[in-house]
Amino acid sequence: MTLSVDPTVYPDPGNWWTPIAEPGSALGRLPINFLPVRGTTVALFQAITPGQATVTSTRSICLADSVTCTGTGTAIMLWRVTVNVI
C-alpha cells in the first residue's frame, strides 16, 4: 500500500500520512527494503490467516498559512480500508 502527498504542496512531514496500522491477526507486515520517495508512506502486508483487518492512516491537512486550521482544532484526514482474508 502506498499513500502519498505532493511534497511541494505539503513540505512539512507533519502533513504526510502516518505509518499505516493494521490491527488484527489476518495480515502480517512485511519488511520494506527500499526507501520511499519524499511524501510517501508505504506498507507491505501478507495474508496470514482468515479474518478481517482494518488498515488505517491519518494526516493533518492544515497548511502553515491556512485560515481554516487556526484555533483549537486540527483538520485530520482519515484513510481506511477493510481487508477480508478468506
pLDDT by 10s per residue, the chain, length 86: 899 999 998 888 988 999 999 878 899 999 999 999 999 999 999 999 999 999 999 998 876 665 556 555 567 899 999 999 99
First CA to last CA distance, the chain: 19
Strand partners, 78: 58
Domain boundaries, the chain: 2-85
Cα 11 vs. chain centroid, distance in angstroms? 16
Record the pTM: 0.81
DSSP letter assigned to residue 31: P
Q: With b meaning 16 or more CB within 10 Å and e meaning fewer, what string describes 50-59?
A: eeebebebeb
pLDDT of residue 76: 86
pLDDT of residue 72: 55
pLDDT of residue 46: 94
